[in-house]
Copies of this chain bind each other. A is one copy, B any other.
């Protein structure tokens, strides 16, 4: 089992670290990719090390893609390699877990049309305009896609990730 996080400066700190620490708590390997390797800064001042660039990622190596929110997704969505990773993992039916503003990455990757999804309320109209069926719930599952709205949804978000991964692994 291996997870991948795509991020950029301005990420929502809790939305990156809670899933990251949860994976570590379960002894699941996690790679963190950015546009360049090295330190990435959260909007609340926490720092994390990107150990890979987007261009170096081989999406076939991962079972789970985690997309944290905050101000990072507006930068990640501009990177064609990051969008390619996201598309490949969606098409391979890997688990995609996106919270808050991470819906922006999924919109730019062209992956939201006709999907049941949620996101941060400030960008929900973009999600609707891109063809998604927006729901105001702490977590929404549509096939291999799991979405949540904000940091306080993290308990439900991660509970759902583990539940879907377990079904995927055992079933």
Instruction: List the interface of chain A (C-beta within 8 A of B).
Output: 13-14, 17-18, 21-22, 24-25, 44-46, 151, 154-156, 158-159
Contacts and interface: CB of A to CB of B under 8 A. Distances in A.
Contact of A46 (B14, B21, B24, B156): B14
Protomer copies: 2
Contacts of A22: 22, 155
Task: Tell me the dominant secondary structure on chain A's binding face.
Answer: helix
B25 A158 contact: yes
A17 B21 CA distance: 12
Nearest to A25: B155
A21 B158 CA distance: 10
Q: What are the 8 A-B residue pairs with the smallest beta carbon separation, nearest first?
A: A24-B155, A25-B155, A44-B44, A21-B155, A25-B159, A21-B154, A44-B45, A25-B158
